[in-house]
Amino acid sequence: MSAEPARHSRSALLLAAGQVRYQLLLLLRSPLAFFLTLVVPLLLLVSLNVVIPPSAALMPRGLRYAQFLTPAVCVFCLLNACYVTTITSVVLAREEQILKRLRGTPLPAWTYLAGRSGTAFLTAMASAAIIITIGVAFFHVHIVWRASGYFAAAAGLGMACFFLLGVAVTAAIAKTDTALPVAYGTVLPLAFISDVFFSAARAPHWLQDLASAFPVAPVARAMEAAFIPGTRSWPMPTSGLLVVLGWTIAAAAAIALTFRWEPGPGPGHAR
C-alpha cells in the first residue's frame, strides 16, 4: 500500500520537472520574454554605470555606485523573471485556452504552477549570474563572499514572493494586451522608490516608510547590503522579513481563491 503513494509522488515530480523543461523551451522561443528577462537588466546595468557621472556615483558610506547597482539590478532580474514574465505568460496561456486544456488532463494543477515557478527561478538566477559576472568583469565590483549566503537567501525569498504575486495578479487581468502594461505599471513605481536603480537613503521618510510596506524594498536592501564589505550578519530586519512573508502568504491565499483557468472578464468567471 505504501508503494502506491510513492509511485504517485514520483510521477507528480516527473510531471513538474517536465513542466519546467517545457516552460523553459517556451521562454527561449519567445523573443519578448528573453528580452525582458535577460537583455533589459543588462542594458540597465551598462547604461546607468556609463551615464551616471563619477561625482554622483558615490553612495552612502563611500560605496561605489557600481557596487550598489549590480545587486540592485539583480533585484530587477528577479522582478522581471518572477513577476513580469509570469503575468504575461500566464495570461497569454489562459486567454489562448492552454490552461483550460491542461485543466482537462490528468496533470495536477500544482505541477503546472511548479513548472512556472521553476522556470521563473532558473531564469532569474541565470540573469542575476550574468549581471554579477558583467559587474565583476567590467565595473570592478567585488563579491563579498562571507555575505553570499545572505544574498542567496534574500533572493530566494524575493523570487517566491514575486512569483506568487505575479500569479495572483493574473486573476485581475482579462486581456493579453493589458498584461505587460499592468505588470510594469505596478512594478516600476515600486522599483524606483525601493532602492532599485538609485539609493533611497536620502529620500523623505514618508517615502521610505511607504516603500517598506511592500516586499520589493526589504528584498532589495538585503541583497544590496550583501555586497557591502562590512556586512557580517543577516541584513534583512525582522520587520522587513514579516512584510515579505505577509505578502507571500496573501498572494498564495489569493491564488487559491481567485486563480482562473479559463478566459473570462474577471475573477468571478468559472475557474
Q: Is residue 271 part of a domain?
A: no
Higher pLDDT, 25 or 68: 68
- So what's the pLDDT on residue 17? 67
- What is the pLDDT averaged over residues 237-246? 97
* pTM score, whole prediction: 0.86
Task: Give yes or no for residue 57 having a pLDDT over 60.
Answer: no
Q: Please, what is the average pLDDT of the chain? A: 84
Contacts 24+ apart (CB under 8 A), 23-28: 23/89, 23/115, 23/116, 23/118, 23/119, 24/119, 24/122, 24/123, 26/89, 27/85, 27/89, 27/119, 27/123
Task: Give yes or no for residue 37 having a pLDDT over 90.
Answer: no
Q: Is residue 265 part of a domain?
A: no
| Cα–Cα distance measured from residue 97 to residue 125, given in angstroms and rounded to the nearest whole number | 30
Percent of the chain with pLDDT over 70: 80
Task: Give yes or no for residue 2 having a pLDDT over 80.
Answer: no
Q: Is residue 57 part of a domain?
A: yes
Higher pLDDT, 36 or 226: 226
Decide: residue 78, CB within 10 A, 0-12 exposed, 13-18 middle, 19+ buried: buried
Dump the DSSP string for 60-95: GGG-BHHHHHHHHHHHHHHHIIIIIHHHHHHHHHHH
Q: What residues contact 265, with CB distance under 8 A and at least 6 apart?
A: 174
- What is the pLDDT averaged over residues 30-35? 68
- What is the pLDDT averaged over residues 26-40? 71
Q: Is residue 268 part of a domain?
A: no
Dump the DSSP string for 241-266: HHHHHHHHHHHHHHHHHH--SS--SS
- So what's the pLDDT on residue 80? 92
Residue 178: give the domain boundaries: 3-258
Name the band, by pLDDT with cuts 50, 70 and 90, for residue 10.
low
| Cα–Cα distance measured from residue 42 to residue 128, given in angstroms and rounded to the nearest whole number | 9
pLDDT digits (tens, 9 = 90+) for 197-218: 877 767 788 888 999 999 999 9
Q: Is residue 223 part of a domain?
A: yes
| Cα–Cα distance measured from residue 195 to residue 63, given in angstroms and rounded to the nearest whole number | 14
Q: Is residue 145 part of a domain?
A: yes
- What is the pLDDT averaged over residues 230-240? 92
DSSP tag of 268: T
- So what's the pLDDT on residue 200? 73
Are 34 and 26 in contact by the 8 Å Cβ rule? The answer is no
How many domains does the chain contain in total? 1
Higher pLDDT, 142 or 101: 142
Task: Give yes or no for residue 5 having a pLDDT over 60.
Answer: no
Name the band, by pLDDT with cuts 50, 70 and 90, for residue 109.
confident
Q: Is residue 235 part of a domain?
A: yes
Q: Is the dihedral of CA 96, 97, 103, 105 positive or negative?
A: negative
Mean pLDDT check: name the lowest of 36-50, 79-93, 131-145.
Answer: 36-50
Q: Is residue 263 part of a domain?
A: no
